[in-house]
Structure 1
Amino acid sequence: MELRKLGNSSVNVTPLAFGAWAIGGWLWGGAEEKDALRAIRASYDMGITSIDTAPVYGFGKSEELVGQAMAGVPRDRYQILTKYGMNWQTQQGDFAMDTFDNHGKPLKIYKYAGKQKVKQECEDSLRRLKTDHIDLYQIHWPDVTTPIAETMEAVADLIKEGKVRAAGVCNYSAQQAEEALKTLNIVSNQVPFSMVNRKIEKDEIPQALKRNLGILPYSPLQRGLLTGKIKPGYKFNDGDSRPSTRYYKPENLSRINAMLEKIKPIADGYNASLSQLVINWTVHRPAMACVLVGARDEKQVKDNAKALDFKLTAEETKKINEAVDGLKLVD
């Protein structure tokens, strides 16, 4: 699989990354550990060597599973993309949410990226991931209680120490990314992007093209919605947060499924699923470096990898864009 360089760093990533949020179980209604381990290894075996995870995904569980799955694989053959800045151990930082851990225990989570906390988080992640370095270290969410310069200085120190190869940000506005660039050579911005959520096309994508930043889009399938398999009345597992989001409102579900029906003939022409068509379209959007696609088991991984088995024509891309542009959602 081709590799794409992140900014002017030495880190190369695959156009698809294994998104390891779901395997952590948190907010996804649980996950089977043995299936998760097989999924990670299957992803690597199919050439998807970039793995995106975070401490808060299962409160360490996701990183631990990645570490277990990749044990024995030469470290230079895969890329670890993890994060920092979510605090559930203390009440420092900007309050983010009330939630529950994987055992149902209530937790409060804060966005906190003070210098010492960032460095401690790095040590904890290295231990869970069973590695001596992180390829791309990203702040998970902006922390309004800590100056951006202080946070970036902490990562700069980690880079000097050889514990981190390159720095990125997540969920940063273009303005926040510019502020970070004053202190540190960040090479990426991980932000939500999908056919139904294209807000970053206004500021963040133009900035990425101008400043040589790679966009790492997450939720390209809008957490399963763009597979075409979720219809009004769909039954979710306990603990699944998706039904409470805007995109899963019955009216929006109907409108999105109608849009998917318009582009389904293009997928059928390649003997591909709607998911594969959506991922393929996303990979080739401007500034996209590495599209994050989650999977809970080996079959989902294989289905995701097949998204790169075909190339859309200019006419097909135009038809898809017209269908996407015509979609209007209710609030």
Structure 2
Amino acid sequence: MAMRNLGKTDLKVSPITLGAFAIGGTMWGGNEKNDSIAAIRASIDNGVTSIDTAPFYGFGLSEEMIGEALKGRDRSSVQILTKFGLVWDGSNNGKGEYFFDADGTPIYKYASKANVIKEVEESLQRLKTDYIDLLQLHWPDSTTPIDETMEALELLIQQGKIKTAGVSNYSASQLEEAKKTVTLASNQVAYSMLNRTIEKELVPYTLENNIGIIAYSPMERGLLTGKYFKDGKLSESDHRNGYFGQYDLEKVKSFLDKITPIADSKNVTLAQLVLRWTVQQPGITVVLAGARNAEQAVSNAQALHFELTADELNLINQELTIFI
């Protein structure tokens, strides 16, 4: 599948992008460094040239491994998407908005101008690069005015340290406020077959204003791959032990059983079918797919190589009415 422009910008990204949350290990029961680096390299080698990460993922580890994995590669052939605004090291000095504890560490939302600039410098060092293709606010910070955060992003664009600016988890009204200061390339939000709330207000707004949507958790952190129902063992520190509980698992299993024949007919996995469905939804520019080893990375990339027909999409959507 051809690369896609992100919003009004010139930045082209792969429709399926490597989501590098899990390889950081935090909240995912740890990681295997060699496998993680292999996943990054296999993704790129198989056409998934965009990588989405964040300082919070592994408290810097995810970015560091990406920097290591990209050694010797043409930097212009890879698109690095990272974030800022989740502080775990106490550098916010009590400022910002307490969010939650991750593996026993307090996390704060903090998006002041000074903190944005500080975090970018740290990310550039970890990533071993002199620019970031897309820098995104990780979560809205109610203690910092939107225009202050956006002014920092505009400054970084002017300095050449970032190519484009985006946000994550923004509402349509927050996007409207932000665009007064900077042209946003994208909004990264949760979206999946089981979570389609953005279709009501956010998707129409982004389509009208030409802002890309980067969909995270399209496979509901592995639930929609079907693997959980075959081997439900998760490590004790894996946050999915609680996360999966928000869904009616019997309904999810029934739904997956009903769409499995479509996957079988195309000789693809459930995970690939789910990714493909998400890529083809209106308004969705990029779909994030995590991979913790090379095999998973190659499998994700293969979802770029087939399409769902209108009839197949309609059949899947009809089965999804079980969740309404």
Q: CA–CA distance in 2 between the matches of 1:99 and 1:217?
A: 22
Deviation of the 1:184 alpha carbon = 0.7
Q: State the match for 2:272 in structure 1.
A: 276
SS at match of 1:47: coil
Instruction: Provide, for residues 260-310 of structure 1, a one-character-per-residue CA deviation record: whole Å limited to 9, x for no partner.
Output: 111111000011111110000000101111110000000101111111222
Query: Aligned equivalents of 1:309 and 1:253: distance in 2?
Result: 30
Normalising by the residue count of structure 1, what TM-score does the alignment of the two structures yield? 0.95
| Unmatched segments (≥5 aa) in structure 2 | none
In 2, the alpha carbon distance for the partners of 1:118 and 1:266 equals 45
* TM-score, structure 2 as length reference: 0.97
- Displacement after TM superposition at 1:199 (Å): 0.9
Q: Kindly tell me the number of residue pairs found equivalent between the two proteins.
A: 321
Correspondence 1:266 to 2:269: no
**Aligned match of 2:199:** 201
What is the aligned counterpart of 1:170 among 162, 168, 171?
A: 168
- What is the aligned partner in structure 1 of residue 30 from structure 2? 30
Residue of structure 2 equivalent to 1:97: 100
Deviations 1:107-131 (A, max 9, x none): 1110000000000000000000000
The 1:70/1:232 distance shift into structure 2, 3 A limit, reads closer
Structure 1 residues 130, 255: closer, same or farther in 2, change over 3 A?
Answer: same
1:192 aligns with 2:214: no
Q: Which moved more, 1:88-97 or 1:271-280?
A: 88-97
Structure 1 residues 233 and 307, CA gap change in structure 2 (3 angstroms): closer
Shift of 1:166: 0.4
Aligned partner of 1:139 among 137, 140, 158: 137
CA distance in 1, matches of 2:250, 2:322: 14
> Is 2:11 the partner of 1:14?
no
In the other structure, the counterpart of 1:103 is none
Task: State the alpha-carbon separation in 1 of the partners of residues 203 and 146 from structure 2.
Answer: 21
Q: Does 1:218 align with 2:216?
A: yes
Pairing 1:111–2:109 present = yes
SS in 2 for 1:166: strand
When residues 308 and 233 of structure 1 are mapped into structure 2, their CA distance, relative to the original with a 3 A threshold, is: closer
Q: Distance in 2 between matches of 1:157 and 1:20?
A: 26
Report the RMSD for the aligned CA atoms in angstroms: 1.2
| Aligned match of 2:300 | 304
2:263 match: secondary structure:
helix
Query: Letter of the aligned partner of 1:6 in structure 2?
Result: L
For 2:306 and 2:66, how far apart are their aligned partners in 1? 29
Measured against aligned partners, the alpha-carbon deviations of 1:84-125 in whole angstroms (never above 9, x if no partner) come to 00011222200001222xxxxx31110000000000000000
- What CA distance in whole angstroms lies between the structure 2 residues aligned with 1:325 and 1:166? 37
Q: Counterpart in 2 of 1:68? A: 68
Q: Distance in 1 between matches of 2:177 and 2:25?
A: 34
Give the secondary structure class of the aligned counterpart of 2:285. Answer: coil
